[in-house]
Structure 1
């Protein structure tokens, strides 16, 4: 049996990354494989992307903390990975390769961004594919531009796909491309993990209209598990054809000053205030490095047990986020509260109730 952990968004752009990872590292080191989503480029160079609200590049040295915490692979197709341009992506990939951390979803061109991550473990293969569903389109890779892999989702107003737009319909050609890439990876003794950067940020119990159909289409094409991230708040879990879909893993480890209103960067300062009005929340002032919706303190690590006969058992480990933003493995009583929260937000959007006695681990 292989034990696999699935983490949400990772942003480590403050000092002492080992400290911020230490509350979950006992688990991520103990399992056979840990897959996380790398939200921002790790570079000291680059030209800031214009046309959206860019995140700052993080210190490349911080990636070594992920390796020390047992992270095996990262998905990279997201709305911030191109925020420092092609150089930022290149620097990040060089450092990941030096550390032996597999990666998928971003590259020097679209072919590179489509290239899956391959992990050979115990005579079996784990394949990771990564797609950005929320834009901005200027961050998507092309035949001659660095960026992320993507599935195009149409905005209801007919405008460009971007994180602040209301996204609705899945582009059929883009969907077919995603499914073809998934089918190409399926095979004997192979587990296919599809990471989708999707959803509505900062909104409890919310799934955009495209999220369930897209996730189910990935399963229909042969994915063994779908993992969602981007919303920075945990969403529900469903099973389609017996395979798990984690609609929103929420934050894995996100500690940053980029969302503080007290900063010199005009676009980030303005967004720090505007998002609170847009999504109707006020961060707890104690969470200076993770000023998200108060319900985002409930988190999870997705868990898979892949048996030698091919059977996959799915569950999750509850997380709690301590001020100012450090995740920890939730103690028993608090873990039960978090688990009920994960079940409840799923039921509020029409997902089936979870058997928490079987799923919490």
Structure 2
């Protein structure tokens, strides 16, 4: 059985099948492809004014994800509640209509914590999803729509939000994580844990809580940890033989929401402020994906499980072409492998042993 993992998915632009077509062959070849859906897909327009709200995407674009081969999505992120309970309800209803399993958000916290369990190849795969970066207004409650979460306190004791320096994991959240993994493991053969975590738009760096959190998930019994949110690839490591993809980068992000020239004053101001905060100038050729210049180096995480249960981890190299379309890039395999190795070492991760083949890059 083969699982494929993508990073953030934002399909704000028309022709979603076109933007996904460069990676769709690999997504369809897997037994199960799991992506992270970054924004609500809804016609609702009333925004929740906390942090910098993202616009909703066309609900019809969810069908393009299914056509591209995505069978499950994680929803726990900092933007899924930007259009409130209506946006979440429209999104999960739309996913159900096109046959994509989901986890990480719902009308209550109990719904958000419920794993997606998908049957493939005679096995059951459970997927859990958590937002680690806030804002707290996006988190679900006993009677409030939102996403599931891991509480990570800000260094200064201030509000928990993506721009804050976050460092200390709340012990109660770790207990919840362990409880959820144990329950998912009882119902499945493979447990995937996805964290929306880390420091955005910055090369290599891992926040102080990221490695301890991933290791806690492994200690609780999961089979792979995947991360997203930073919009740039992070390093990969193994803990007790379990692969940890600290940041998958962008899966497919095409949006005008990060342009400094737009109707939303909050989003326009954020687009300008990003340059000051993170010290990079987006390449003007990447009109629909104005991210850090190194974000053109992308990947699809990969997990191969043989008939004896032996796990092999790796990735499929991806290059992002202007104005933002990702494509499978066997011609760039060495370059992207070298990049993943370099940023991992910079972040303090152990060096990886890599084998580059016609199928992609295998790790140990």
**1:302 partner SS:** strand
Aligned to 2:361: 360
Aligned partners of 1:56 and 1:118: how far apart in 2? 29
Asked if 1:260 is matched to 2:259, the reply is yes
Whole-Å separation in 2 of the counterparts to 1:241 and 1:65: 37
Q: 1:221 maps to what in 2?
A: 220
Deviation at 1:308, TM superposition (A): 2.3
Q: Does 1:118 align with 2:131?
A: no
Q: Write the deviation string for residues 19-38 of structure 1: whole angstroms up to 9, x where unpaired.
A: 00000011101111100000
8 Å contact kept, 1:46–1:85: no
Question: RMSD in angstroms over aligned alpha carbons?
Answer: 1.1
* C-alpha deviation, 1:47, in angstroms: 2.1
- Kindly report structure 1 stretches of 4+ aligned residues shifted beyond 3 Å: none
Structure 1 segment 78-227 matched on structure 2, within 5 A: 78-187=77-186, 190-227=189-226
TM-score, with length taken from structure 1: 0.98
Write the distance in 2 (CA, Å) between the matches of 1:241 and 1:188.
Answer: 22
Specify every segment of 5 or more residues in structure 1 that has no aligned partner in the other structure, as ranges: none
**1:188, CA displacement in angstroms?**
8.2
Quote the offset at 1:187 in angstroms. 4.3
SS at match of 1:257: coil
**Displacement after TM superposition at 1:350 (Å):** 1.2
Paired residues, number: 359
Q: Partner of 1:347 in structure 2?
A: 345
* CA distance in 1: counterparts of 2:253 and 2:193, whole angstroms: 21
Which string of whole-angstrom CA distances, capped at 9 and with x for unpartnered residues, describes residues 31-76 of structure 1? Answer: 1110000000000015201121000000000010000000010000
CA distance in 1, matches of 2:266, 2:38: 18
Q: C-alpha separation between the residues in 1 aligned to 2:147 and 2:14?
A: 27
- Secondary structure at 2:77's aligned position in 1? coil
Partner of 2:38: 39
Contact in 2 for aligned 1:46/1:86 (Cα 8 Å): no
Q: How far apart, CA to CA, are the structure 1 residues paired with 2:140 and 2:85? A: 10
Tell me, what secondary structure is at the counterpart of 2:149?
coil
Alpha-carbon deviation of 1:352?
Answer: 1.2
Q: Distance in 2 between matches of 1:216 and 1:210?
A: 10
Distance 2:275 2:178 in 1: 36
Q: Is the 8 A contact 2:117 2:188 kept in 1?
A: no
In 1, Cα distance between the equivalents of 2:208 and 2:350?
A: 17
